[in-house]
Chain A
Amino acid sequence: MILIPILAVLIGVIIGLLMHHPFTGNLGQYLAVGCLAGLDTVCGGIRSGYEGKFHTDIFVSGFITNLVIAISMAWLGDRIYIDLYQAVALVLGWRIFTNLSLIRRSILNQWRDARERRRQEELAKQSRASSANLGDPASN
């Protein structure tokens, strides 16, 4: 399941390359900050999906508002000569790390649970088979 969003990002990259229109100057800098916000939101969406708390409206609105907030903070920082984009980069980088570690944990947990369940089923099957063997003397 995690592969589909990754594939989607790659498709976006290909579309972007076909558009062949890299942003120049300040606009590019602001979009780069926006990219961090977008990456954080997408990671957060995957995480909440794995945790079973996903809501489309929260996710989509989060994507847009995070983008706007990140870009406007970078813009504001440039207006008042404070490197506010560094604060944005720090917080978003932090959150991306947290989200990715939680995704990793969820995937590993899911995987371990599935293995454990298979083992239990295997055991149950074996015990059923052995009890059936015991209970049916004709098979001996």
Chain B
Amino acid sequence: MNPFAKRIKPQDNWVIPVSILGVVLGIMFTSAWVTQQNRPTRLGLTDPSQEQRIALGPIDLQQKNAQLAQEVARLRDEKTRLENSVATQTGSSKLLNQELQAAKEFACLTDVEGPGVVVTLRDSQKPVTEYVQDQIIHDGDVLRVVNELWNAGANAISVNNNRVAPTTAIRCVGSTILVNNTPVASPIAVRAIGDPATLLGALNLPGGVLSEIRSTDPAMVQIDTVSEMTISAFTGSTQMKFSKVPPVTGKLSP
């Protein structure tokens, strides 16, 4: 009657129930598995130690992010090229394009070149003392250096090749400093394009941002002036989800 009944020996009666619940177990595992979709909602629910381990994400994710960033940079270059080629025809479109390119430069969407300084911050190599917290570079140190550089008239800043754009956040998760949500580690190179002498003066102000770090270990800070360097474009998202530009009212002037 039951074709399977004859083949199954009495001592193997466990196979079918175990297999049925095995299917259920497989479904449960795939539902509980952490994927791209549910990862953000579950990351906060882990232990701090585990969060630190998985915060960097799987290697392939990093590679994919790097690939996508390259792709974004390539497409934005292509866009600039197309805008330029469209605008060569008439005076007004040329003017519009000039304004567009200036706005893009201001929004950190283009590579920029120029003279400037490179500030390298690294964790202290000295033996660990009781002030170990002062011997490592924190997100706050990077943030203060960037702030000081903006204040001294820098035009463009990058932190370990992550362009500091209008939406950039510099913070830490666990023991990792994140810039644009990309982990960076010591040594951290802050590049700034601007007048080298002014930038250098601002960084070396007595009682300034670097004096506290230098008082712990002068080797933690290194400043080089560069006569020519390139800072690459911001490759993050530029979508504005919540803000919109209000419509312009009023008459056009003749």
Contact = CB atoms under 8 A, between A and B. Distances in A.
Interface string B1-39: 000000000011111011111111111111111110110
Contacts of A52: 11
A24 B41 contact: yes
B248 interface: no
Given A23-B32, A29-B45, A45-B17, A39 B11 contact: no
Interface in B42-72: 42, 45, 47
Contacts of B42: 24-25, 28-29
Contacts of A23: 31-32, 38
Contacts of A60: 17, 21
Nearest to B13: A54
Contact of B28 (A1, A34, A59, A83): A34
Interface centre among B20, B28, B34 (most CB of A within 10 A): B28
A13 B18 contact: no
Interface string A10-37: 1111111101011111101101101100
Contact of B21 (A11, A15, A19, A45): A45
Contact of A13 (B14, B29, B35, B41): B29
Q: Size range of the interface on A?
A: 35 or more
B31 A16 contact: yes
Interface residues of B, number: 30
A75 interface: no
A72 interface: no
Given A22-B37, A25-B45, A15 B14 contact: no
Contacts of B27: 12-13, 15-16, 19
Contacts of B14: 45-46, 48-49, 54, 56, 59
Contacts of A14: 26
B211 to A, nearest CB: 43
A22 B21 contact: no
Interface of B: 11-15, 17-35, 37-38, 41-42, 45, 47
7 cross-chain pairs, A with B, having the tightest CB-CB distances, nearest first: A12-B26, A16-B30, A49-B14, A8-B22, A54-B14, A8-B19, A12-B23
Given A6-B22, A8-B18, 13 more contacts: A4-B15, A7-B19, A9-B25, A12-B27, A15-B26, A22-B34, A23-B38, A25-B42, A31-B31, A34-B28, A35-B28, A49-B12, A56-B13
